[in-house]
């Protein structure tokens, strides 16, 4: 039995451009992101609780994990303005949107033989954007949210396990909700303007929302080990109890489908998946299918369990942009004293604009894991 004790997502760098159209998903895993952010038909770790609860049925070891994620806007050294050049510094600020994100969760997953698998998670997330505009009459815009919450899931194989039904529950408490709000320097400097008078009503009022996820996996026997998956995330919408306020904004229901293959050749295995997300266009007004297509592949050498390899190379296609990543694991758990130590990384991009190709969000991430 293996227990994944700690998974620490150390850092992420990106050039995200957020908008009101951004479809924000909690709990995106580093393995999934390196494979194009797939996970509807292939979730063999704690990410099943965030992508498709039916994926819990594919986990055969007890897992206990702690993850910490920190990110922000990345800037190439060649883009930095020269020190002391005021014009270049102003131009640099006006052409950048600065983004931060912190995410942490603790997850436990417990399979009971081949009958049923239970999972539970608790998480916290802070995400924000700010940018400057109008050099003549200086203005800046803020867009922030802060959440805490918890979720539970169960994966139930039916019959001989060819069909797996997954049910998940998510509860989110929004502590801060500030959609894109613009401030002028003149208003901020006036002594008769208090901060609360400049911010939208209810931005700092806590609100609670609950929603269920319903998913299935249909596992087809054969050398390819094919799986077809489907999920309804936030069924009916993640609707916050606002008490008559306009904030926070609700999160729409998302329906997604996927297909994967997982041929195992002993000392190496191949995982490949194709997903189509948000098929009802609930998360954006843009009907372009490019924003909904996710595809990826992993080549794992010397697999240790369903979620870990000694060496893994990953690549993918995420909303029209390339993704890649990898994993190196030092297996030490055979000593019964030391854990396996894994290092994973990813470089990927997401579409956060209103239309396909209008908001490329480039990010990098690194994850360190300890597993017994």
Q: Give the domain range for residue 338.
A: 4-371
Q: What is the mean pLDDT of residues 191-198?
A: 54
- Considering only residues 41 and 159, tell me which one the structure prediction assigns the higher pLDDT: 41
Q: What pLDDT was estimated at residue 343?
A: 84
Mean pLDDT across the stretch 122-132? 82
Distance, CA of 45 to CA of 153 (rounded, Å): 13
Indicate whether 215 pLDDT > 90: yes
By C-alpha distance, which of 236, 239, 277 is closest to 253?
A: 236
Q: Is the pLDDT of residue 6 over 50?
A: no
**Torsion angle in degrees (nearest 10) through CA of 35, 38, 42, 43:** 90
Q: In this predicted model, which residue has the larger pLDDT, 55 or 20?
A: 55
pLDDT tier at 163 (50, 70, 90 boundaries)? Answer: very high
pLDDT band (50, 70, 90) for residue 28 = confident
- In this structure, of 43-47, 96-100, 191-195, the range with the lowest mean pLDDT score is 191-195
Confidence band, pLDDT 50/70/90 cuts, at residue 62: confident
Residue bearing tokens 């990010």: 363
Give the other-Cβ count within 10 Å of 302's Cβ.
15
Mean pLDDT of 116-145: 81
Q: What is the pLDDT of residue 73?
A: 60
Q: Alpha-carbon distance 233 to 215, whole Å? A: 8
Between 17 and 52, where is the model more confident?
52
How many domains does the chain contain in total?
A: 1
Arithmetic mean of pLDDT, 209-230: 93
Residue in the block written with tokens 């919408």: 237
For the record, the structure tokens of 135 come out as 């050099």
Domain with residue 85: its CATH number is 2.40.160
Tokens 């396909």 locate to: 356
- Most confident of the ranges 80-89, 116-125, 186-195, 324-333: 116-125
- Check if the beta carbon of residue 365 is closer than 8 Å to that of residue 340: no
pLDDT higher than threshold 70 for residue 45: yes
Q: Are strands 4-14 and 63-73 parallel, antiparallel or unpaired?
A: parallel
Q: How confident is the model at residue 12, as a pLDDT?
A: 37
Neighbouring CB atoms inside 10 A of 173's CB total 15
Separation between Cα atoms, residue 330 and residue 310, nearest integer Å? 7
Handedness of CA 157, 158, 159, 161 (dihedral sign): negative
């Amino acid at each position: 039995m293996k227990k994944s004790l700690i998974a620490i997502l150390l850092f992420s760098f990106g050039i995200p451009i957020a908008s009101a159209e951004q479809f924000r998903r909690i709990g995106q895993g580093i393995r999934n992101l390196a494979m194009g952010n797939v996970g509807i038909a292939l979730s063999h770790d704690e990410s099943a609780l965030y992508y498709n609860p039916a994926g819990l049925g594919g986990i055969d070891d007890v897992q206990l994990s702690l993850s910490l994620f920190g990110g922000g806007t990345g800037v190439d050294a060649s883009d930095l303005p020269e020190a002391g050049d005021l014009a270049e510094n102003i131009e640099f600020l006006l052409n950048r949107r600065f983004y931060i994100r912190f995410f942490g969760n603790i997850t436990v997953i417990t399979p009971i033989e081949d009958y049923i698998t239970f999972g539970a998670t608790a998480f916290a997330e802070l995400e924000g954007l700010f940018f400057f505009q109008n050099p003549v009459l200086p203005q800046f815009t803020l867009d922030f949210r802060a959440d805490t919450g918890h979720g539970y899931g169960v994966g139930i194989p039916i019959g001989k396990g060819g069909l797996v039904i997954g049910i998940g529950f998510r509860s989110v408490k929004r502590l801060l909700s500030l959609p894109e709000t613009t401030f002028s320097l003149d208003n901020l400097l006036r002594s008769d303007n208090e901060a609360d008078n400049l911010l939208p009503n209810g931005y700092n009022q806590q609100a609670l929302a609950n929603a269920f996820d319903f998913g299935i996996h249909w596992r087809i026997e054969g050398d390819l080990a094919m799986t077809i998956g489907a999920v309804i995330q936030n069924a009916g919408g993640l609707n916050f109890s606002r008490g008559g306020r306009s904030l926070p904004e609700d999160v729409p229901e998302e329906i997604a489908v996927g297909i994967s293959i997982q041929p195992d050749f002993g000392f190496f295995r191949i995982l490949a998946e194709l997903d189509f997300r948000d098929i009802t266009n609930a998360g954006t007004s843009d009907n372009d299918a490019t924003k909904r297509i996710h595809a990826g592949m992993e080549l794992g050498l010397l697999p240790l369990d369903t979620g870990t390899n000694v060496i893994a190379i990953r690549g993918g296609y995420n909303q029209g942009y390339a993704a890649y990543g990898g994993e190196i694991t030092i297996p030490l758990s055979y000593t019964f004293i030391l854990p396996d130590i894994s290092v994973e990384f990813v470089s990927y991009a997401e579409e956060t604009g209103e239309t396909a190709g209008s908001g490329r969000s480039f990010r990098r991430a690194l994850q360190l894991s300890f597993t017994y």
